[in-house]
Amino acid sequence: MTPTIAVVAPGAMGSAVARRLVEQGARVLTGLAGRSAATCARAEAAGMIGVGDDQIAAADVILSILPPAEAVGFAQRLAPALALGGHRAIFVDCNAIDVRTVERIAAIIGAGPARFVDGAIIGAPPKPGKPGPTFYFSGAPAADLDWLQQFGLKIRRIDGPVGAASALKMSYAGITKGITALAAAMVLAASRAGAAQALREELAASQPQLLKRFATALPDMYPKAYRWAAEMREIAAFVQDDPAAARIYEAVGDLYERIGADAREGRGEIDLIEAFLNLPDC
Q: How many domains does the chain have?
A: 2
One domain for residues 129 and 15: yes
Over the stretch 236-281, which tens digit does the pLDDT of each residue have? 999 999 999 999 999 999 999 999 999 999 889 999 999 999 999 8
Assigned domain for 21 exists = yes
One domain for residues 109 and 233: no
As a three-state string, the secondary structure of the chain is CCCEEEEECCCHHHHHHHHHHHHCCCEEEECCCCCCHHHHHHHHHCCCEECCHHHHHCCCEEEECCCHHHHHHHHHHHHHHHHCCCCCCEEEECCCCCHHHHHHHHHHHHCCCCEEEEEEEECCCCCCCCCCCEEEEECHHHHHHHHHHHHCCEEEECCCCCCHHHHHHHHHHHHHHHHHHHHHHHHHHHHHCCCHHHHHHHHHHHCHHHHHHHHHHHHHHHHHHHHHHHHHHHHHHHCCCCHHHHHHHHHHHHHHHHHHHHHHHCCHHHHHHHHHHCCCCC
- For residue 229, give its domain range: 166-277
Over the stretch 220-237, which tens digit does the pLDDT of each residue have? 999 999 999 999 999 999
